[in-house]
Amino acid sequence: MSSRLLCMENVNKKSKTKQGLLYLLLFVAMTVIYAITSYFAMKYLQNNGEYPTGVDTLCHIYKGDVLYKSILKGNYWPAYDPLWYNGVEMLRYWAPLPVFCLAACQWLAAGNPIGGFVIFVGISCFLASMSWLYVGFRLKRPVLGSFLGLLWFFIPNNLIAMFYEGNLPRTICMIFLPLLLYRITDFYENKRVSDLPAISVLFALISLCHSGYAGMILISLLVYMVVRGIICKEYRTGVHTLIALILGYMLIGIWLVPSLIGGITSTDSSEIMAEFFQDMWLTINPVARLSIGNINFYFGMATLLLALFGMFLTKKKDMPGFITGILILLGTSNTAYIILSKAPGGQYLWMLRFISIGVCMVLFSFLNWKTLRRGWIVLFCALMLLDTIPSLKLIYKEQTGKTPEERMAEYEEWTLLTEAKADTEQRLALVDESVMDAMSAYLLTGFGKQVATSYGAAWQSSVTATNFKQIDRSLEEGNYLYLFDRCLDMGNDTVVARMDLVDNLNEHPATEMDAAAEAVGYELIRENGLYRYYKLKNSGSFGHITKYEGIAIGTGAPTIARFFPMFKEVDTTKIDDLTFEELSQYRVIYIDGFTYNDRAMAEELVKKLADAGVRIIIEADGIPEDRRTQNQSFMGVICNPISFSQGYPLLDTVDGELDTDLFPKGYGSWSTVFVDGLDEVWGVVKDDDYDIPFIGTAYNNNIRVIALNLTYYYSLTRDEGVGKLLSRAIDFDTKMLPQRTLIPLEVYASNDRIEITSNENNVNSTIAFHESFVANNKISSDNNLMIVNKGKTIITMPYPYLLQGAVVSGVAFLLIIVYAAWMSKNSDRKREDG
């Protein structure tokens, strides 16, 4: 009997040895296959006549190039890039791991940034495959894991992220995501305490790639945990997993804390959110994914069929992944947008960005479905392979026989940038709304002669985002005086404007643009029909001292300033945040969409200013609602709602009757207000034999109230009669400009230091102001730009919020250790009790 057992044991050992050798052979073979696949992906990319494609690809390549060159100088953490956005904090808001990866790839490419991108693609393809291979072996499903590894990089939505969106950080996240899912499910199934620190570290790495996308992954995993809790009653395990994920997010606090203060978190994401939903049929339709002139985010018909199959037929523990994938798909629909846009924090739910997460969950559940018969496995693998093939043309496109450098040289010449860059002495504004995506900025700062610009890519990281967005809007509207005046405000001695972005309200846009440029001090150097290139006369390196006649306060300030450039916009919407001494320096104050800390104090301030001879223009539609009376009222003027259809009735004004243009297309119904309580009425609406007042004075002749949302109407229509009425009320002409005196400056800027020498006090340096700046002389901010005084100002950039960030990281590190030890002790105690 013992000999028989010994014989069986030897057979088992031989069987295990044989299986181990087969597994080793498979591992080596697949590693070689992945390497070959990655090599051919790089070669196909190089043969692509359009690479590097992708909306943001050149943005990331540029950041990697800046870091690479900084490292060559011995600086491994460049705090500042002086070339984009009038100066931007280089690694504060841009997640550092992808930037370091691209810099390393550029080093492998002997310093060529475009070549580094090709290597990045190859390495990403290889590591993404190895991630699934590792998970497949750990789950004892090496063959299926090998196939998914081969497929994962080429999943349609992953190709869209890499080669259409150019979202290289998200590509790196997709390498870590299967590993994270494995650790989470392993903890669920085996309660292995060592999984918790691994979950924290993996999530920390994902967060260092893209903190926003890490948040999306966290939301998806939370949905998974809730679904699993409902189906399998594993709520406690979900709580432990969630704690590990949160601690992983905290672990990168040394970078995360400064990145969350300002930057992307200070911007309104609600408008961007709407772009990340689409008809769900497009999301699963294999034909429509690459329709002519458009590329749709794609979940995949094969993935959907697999998810539905698994949701109904697999075991309970494998259902949550399939169900979560389907819930994510449903969340991308236009119907879901209507619901999610109204939810608290919904503006950050860019659901189409969740698709790869949902697909990964479905594929991981497929891999973990160990009772599924081989025939079904082969069928679904074949379907997914077929579903992937059409998207491969995102890598391999038209052959042109031209290198990226040759194509960029052609673009540079076509956009007039070759000559414009050669003439630029301080900064160049390419006003084209980035229609060439990140290439617009890359042509200025990453190709050929490098010049500074007020634009860039990844605008969420810029403190001057509102400044250049105003310039873009002024181009669309044809407000050319504002465009050139604010380009001068931001220190651009060279301006290149793209003409096909101008709306049709201007009869002779080129002539009007040339006249506006001349009025500000620019002269036309060259034009080619599509682009016009202007140069500031006798500029050099300069700042300026500026006198504005007016100031605009509130959410409506940007609109009025574009039409009346004499108005200065301010950051605050609260009128009583500014003192009488500050406001009395201006001849006219315009308030629209304003608020206040205390209504009585705000009204007293306005009265005092009016008595001092300052004119105050109040846009009635922008008067806040009084908390006590629930009325929209201010300075004794009460607003009453009213709406019009198609157009205003006849307007009877002090300048005569106005028969205005119809409302623009899309504004059939116009909801607005009229006003009661005016001291002197300057205009009424004739409606059903009633005279409804909409413009006049309150308190005294210096306080003037405008209703009917006339300012916004004028911005849409450019109605001549309304324009004259507004000019009369405001007492400004649309052609008036601020008085700017250019001051010569000596400026030196590097990745960690700025030196400015001025012979005057209170000079706007035209360099973006960052709160992390430390200066030897007093500096301040005006309209997001830095004010310096006489003498030499030396600015250094120590790591912001270092202590606070280090404390968060340190606490997280200690908590991970303590929590794992506590969990281990509890599991040992349970085993002893058992």
Same domain, 112 and 145: yes
Asked if residue 435 belongs to a domain, the reply is yes
Nearest CA among 714, 243, 319, 348 for reference residue 505? 714
Whether 808 shows a pLDDT value over 80: the answer reads yes
Mean per-residue pLDDT, 725-739 = 86
Q: Tokens 């409902």 label which residue?
A: 230
Token pair for residue 113?
């940034």
Asked if residue 604 belongs to a domain, the reply is yes
Give me the pLDDT at residue 737, please: 93
Asked if residue 351 belongs to a domain, the reply is yes
Whether 474 shows a pLDDT value over 50: the answer reads yes
Q: Tokens 């205009």 label which residue?
A: 683
Give me the pLDDT at residue 409, please: 92
pLDDT band at 265 (very low <50, low <70, confident <90, very high): very low
Alpha helices in 612-655 (DSSP H): none
Mean per-residue pLDDT, 8-35 = 78
pLDDT band at 347 (very low <50, low <70, confident <90, very high): low
The region that residue 801 occupies, defined by phi over 0 for left and psi between -120 and 50 for alpha, beta otherwise, is left
* pTM of the predicted model as reported, rounded to 2 decimal places: 0.90
Nearest CA among 303, 40, 41 for reference residue 155? 303
Token pair for residue 44?
């196909």
CA distances from 140 to 60, 152, 177, 416, 575 (A): 38, 19, 19, 60, 67
Among the three residues 708, 730, 752, which one is the final residue of a domain in this structure? 730
Greater model confidence, 626 or 194 = 194
Do residues 396 and 47 make contact, with C-beta atoms less than 8 angstroms apart? yes
Token pair for residue 420?
């414009």
Do residues 78 and 751 make contact, with C-beta atoms less than 8 angstroms apart? yes
CATH number of the domain where residue 708 is located:
3.40.50
Q: What is the pLDDT of residues 131-188, one digit of tens each?
A: 999 999 999 999 999 999 999 999 988 988 898 889 999 999 999 999 999 999 999 9
Same domain, 709 and 756: no
pLDDT band at 266 (very low <50, low <70, confident <90, very high): very low
Whether 308 shows a pLDDT value over 80: the answer reads yes
Give me the pLDDT at residue 417, please: 95
Give the CA dihedral 219, 221, 222, 223, nearest 10 degrees: 90
Instruction: Give the DSSP H/E element, type plus range, for residue 784.
Output: none
Q: What is the pLDDT of residues 613-669, one digit of tens each?
A: 999 999 998 888 877 777 888 988 889 888 888 888 888 888 888 888 888 887 878
Looking at the chain, the whole-number percentage of residues with pLDDT higher than 90 is 58
Same domain, 145 and 250: yes
Strand, coil or helix: 638: strand
Instruction: Give the DSSP H/E element, type plus range, for residue 616.
Output: strand 615-619
State in Å, rounded, how far the first CA of the chain is from the last one. Answer: 34
Mean per-residue pLDDT, 719-730 = 86
Task: Write the CB contacts of 164 (distance below 8 Å, at least 6 apart in sequence).
Answer: 53, 54, 55, 295, 394
Asked if residue 263 belongs to a domain, the reply is yes
Kindly report the number of other CB atoms within 10 A of residue 339's CB atom: 11
Do residues 169 and 367 make contact, with C-beta atoms less than 8 angstroms apart? no
Same domain, 252 and 280: yes
Mean per-residue pLDDT, 264-271 = 50
Same domain, 500 and 573: no
Instruction: Give the DSSP H/E element, type plus range, for residue 157.
Output: helix 156-160
794 Cα distance to chain centroid: 31
Asked if residue 460 belongs to a domain, the reply is yes
Pairing of strands 780-782, 88-89: unpaired
Backbone phi, psi, residue 396, to 5°: -105, 105
The radius of gyration computed from the CA coordinates of the chain, to the nearest angstrom, equals: 31
pLDDT band at 690 (very low <50, low <70, confident <90, very high): confident
Same domain, 387 and 411: no
Q: What is the pLDDT of residues 181-193, one digit of tens each?
A: 999 999 999 888 8
Same domain, 717 and 757: no
Q: What is the pLDDT of residues 535-560, one digit of tens each?
A: 998 888 999 999 999 999 999 999 99
- Spatial distance between the Cα atoms of 203 and 217, rounded to a whole number of angstroms: 9
Same domain, 359 and 413: no
Nearest CA among 180, 222, 184, 217 for reference residue 202? 180
Asked if residue 820 belongs to a domain, the reply is no
Give the count of domains, the chain.
4
Same domain, 506 and 557: no
Do residues 172 and 207 make contact, with C-beta atoms less than 8 angstroms apart? no
Q: Side chain identity at 331, as an amino acid letter?
A: G
- Spatial distance between the Cα atoms of 6 and 283, rounded to a whole number of angstroms: 59
Give me the pLDDT at residue 509, please: 86
- Spatial distance between the Cα atoms of 623 and 559, rounded to a whole number of angstroms: 16
Asked if residue 832 belongs to a domain, the reply is no
Q: What is the pLDDT of residues 199-256, one digit of tens each?
A: 999 999 999 999 889 999 999 999 999 999 999 888 899 999 999 999 999 999 999 9
Instruction: Give the DSSP H/E element, type plus range, for residue 824.
Output: helix 802-833
Same domain, 444 and 558: no
Whether 407 shows a pLDDT value over 50: the answer reads yes
Same domain, 408 and 388: no
Whether 484 shows a pLDDT value over 90: the answer reads yes
Q: What is the pLDDT of residues 762-775, one digit of tens each?
A: 999 999 999 999 99
Mean per-residue pLDDT, 7-27 = 71
Domain residues for 757? Answer: 739-796
Mean per-residue pLDDT, 728-748 = 90
- Spatial distance between the Cα atoms of 455 and 161, rounded to a whole number of angstroms: 24
Whether 516 shows a pLDDT value over 80: the answer reads yes
Do residues 221 and 248 make contact, with C-beta atoms less than 8 angstroms apart? no
Please, what is the Cα angle at 217 between 461 and 395, to 5 degrees? 75
- Spatial distance between the Cα atoms of 91 and 81, rounded to a whole number of angstroms: 9
Token pair for residue 744?
């010569």
Same domain, 353 and 420: no
Asked if residue 803 belongs to a domain, the reply is no
Whether 811 shows a pLDDT value over 50: the answer reads yes
- What mean pLDDT, rounded, does the chain reach? 88
Among the three residues 331, 366, 394, which one is the final residue of a domain in this structure? 394
Backbone phi, psi, residue 782, to 5°: -140, 115
E runs forming strands in 678-768 = 680-687, 690-698, 700-706, 739-749, 753-758, 763-768
Among the three residues 701, 730, 759, which one is the final residue of a domain in this structure? 730
Whether 450 shows a pLDDT value over 80: the answer reads yes
